[in-house]
């Protein structure tokens, strides 16, 4: 593309690994950043997944580094940031994509399951910011994009209060980041995907319907547009928030949902 909105910058994507089933939100974000000129560090708990995305970026002529780390372990996150910075330069864009759906109401859920939802969805954001922010503050610039969910804003039909609560915490953590560092050149925003057709959705929500086809049909029908979005829709929203075109956009939660957030149904 002639328009390279992140040329010369380094993007660090946590949860950016790709799976064999198809492109997911993290992989789409990493590839979109790379297509717009960024050098991309792809972090995933699976080395195979991280390498799959890095290889896809390189296949398109981009620069990518695959890193393995568990976002719930501070030492591993710190090491990942250090490796990305050492190989690609200081982080300009921090993209936090790691998340997991934990189904069940408060009676069915164990305390361990509740805490796991927060560890993966919220702790990872905290630790990534903890270890990236010092460099951003030193340089006086940076953009943070946290991936939340429409489930943080409204009920979307599934019984998962742990997930809803954790993603709501991501939203408010982002607001705090945005206002704390606004006068120091750092912006923080969230993207809130609605019904997006991803491999992870098919895997984690398969129990919510008799078949995958039934699950997908219900999700398509629930969207005001009549069809789910794609990981590329989420990635393009993230690209905007990461770019200078969003220089005065700070602390927002941007739904990518075909209008579902505004629906009464």
Q: How far apart are CA 149 and CA 235, in angstroms?
A: 14
User: For position 180, what pLDDT does the model report?
Assistant: 98
Question: 183: which residues sit within 8 A by CB, 6+ positions away?
Answer: none
What pLDDT digit, counting tens, does each position of 4-59 carry? 899 999 999 999 999 888 899 999 999 999 999 999 999 999 999 999 999 999 99
Catalytic residue among 33, 158, 160, 163: 163
- pLDDT of the residue at 12: 98
CA 157 to chain centre: 22
- pLDDT 10s digits, 85-117: 999 999 999 999 999 888 899 999 999 999 999
pLDDT at position 120 over 80: yes
Domains, the chain, with CATH or none: 10-257 (3.40.50.720)
What's the pLDDT at 173?
98
163 is catalytic: yes
How far apart CA 187 and CA 135 sit, in angstroms, is: 14
| pLDDT value of residue 155 | 87
Evaluate if residue 1 carries a pLDDT over 60.
no
Q: Collapsing DSSP states into helix, strand and coil, what is residue 167?
A: helix
CB distance 9 to 37 below 8 Å: yes
Place of tokens 């220089």: 247
Q: pLDDT tens digits for 242-262?
A: 999 999 999 999 999 999 998
Higher pLDDT, 231 or 211: 231
Model pLDDT for residues 160-217, shown as the tens digit of each residue? 899 999 999 999 999 999 999 999 999 999 999 999 988 777 666 556 666 778 878 8
pLDDT at 65: 98
Determine the average pLDDT of the residues in 128-138.
98
Confidence of residue 265 (pLDDT cuts 50, 70, 90): low
């Amino acid at each position: 593309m002639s328009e390279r909105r992140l040329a010369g910058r380094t993007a660090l994507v946590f949860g950016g690994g790709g799976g064999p089933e198809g492109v997911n939100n993290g992989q789409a974000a990493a590839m979109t950043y790379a297509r717009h000129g960024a050098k991309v560090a792809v972090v995933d708990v699976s080395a195979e997944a991280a390498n799959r995305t890095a290889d896809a970026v390189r296949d398109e002529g981009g620069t990518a580094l695959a890193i393995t780390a568990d976002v719930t372990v501070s030492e591993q996150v710190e090491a990942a940031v250090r490796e990305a910075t050492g190989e690609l330069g200081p982080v300009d864009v921090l993209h936090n994509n790691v998340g997991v759906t934990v189904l069940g109401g408060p009676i069915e859920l164990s305390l361990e399951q509740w805490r796991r939802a927060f560890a993966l969805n919220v702790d990872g954001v905290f630790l990534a910011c903890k270890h990236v922010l010092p460099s951003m503050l030193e340089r006086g610039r940076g953009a943070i994009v946290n991936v939340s969910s429409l489930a943080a804003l409204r009920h979307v039909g599934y019984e998962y209060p742990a997930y809803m609560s954790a993603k709501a915490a991501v939203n408010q953590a982002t607001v705090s980041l945005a206002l704390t560092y606004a006068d120091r050149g750092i912006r923080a925003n969230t993207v809130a995907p609605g019904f997006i057709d991803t491999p992870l959705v098919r895997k984690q929500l398969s129990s919510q319907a008799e078949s995958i086809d039934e699950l997908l049909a219900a999700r398509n029908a629930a969207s005001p547009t009549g069809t789910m979005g794609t990981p590329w829709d989420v990635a393009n929203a993230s690209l905007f928030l990461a770019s200078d075109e969003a220089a005065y956009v700070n602390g927002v939660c941007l739904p990518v949902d075909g209008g579902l957030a505004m629906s009464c149904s």
